[in-house]
Amino acid sequence: MTSGDFAPGASVRVRDDWPETRGPVHIRTPHYVRGKPGRVVRRLGEYPNPEDLAFARPAPRVPLYHVAFDPAAIWPDAKGGDELLIEIYAHWLEASP
């Protein structure tokens, strides 16, 4: 787990984690960005963790970030210069050197 505090422009990486292989879960982090590098665009606020809400558990609020990705870093045949912009919760992000 990271502290979950990222400034706009910060280099991050989405955790390469696959909880769905370990049991029933509900995850809002698309599989195609797991383990991929991105750049924080802005913080979008704090929201109850949907991974808990989905199971009617108490849901602590977690920071949510808008993170930009290069599609060509995800799919080799993607067109250079385009961009993917995705909402990712802080606990799915790690600082990337």
Partner 1 sequence: MTTILETDGERLLVAVRALLADKGIASMAEIAERIAITDRASPAQGARMVARAWTDPEYRALMLQDGARAAEAMGVPMRGAPPLGVLENTEAVHNLVVCTLCSCYPRAVLGYPPFWFKSAAYRARAVRDPRGLLAEWGTVLPETMKVRIVDSTADYRWMVLPRRPEGTDGWSAEQLAAIVREGDMIGVTVPTA
Partner 2 sequence: MCDAVDTEPHALTEFDKEVDAIRQILGMKGVMTVDELRRGIEAIPEADYLRLSYYRRWIRSITATLIRKGVISEDELRAALEAS
Q: Which residues bind partner 2 (CB under 8 A)?
A: 24, 26, 50, 53-56
Among 64, 76, 90, 93, binds partner 1 (CB under 8 A): 64
Among 12, 14, 40, 88, binds partner 1 (CB under 8 A): 88
Distance separating alpha carbons of residues 43 and 78, to the nearest angstrom: 27
Q: How far is the CB of 10 from partner 1 (least distance, A)?
A: 18
User: CB within 8 A of 39, min separation 6: which ones?
Assistant: 9, 10, 11, 12, 67, 68, 69
- Which one, 34 or 42, has the nearer CB to partner 2? 34
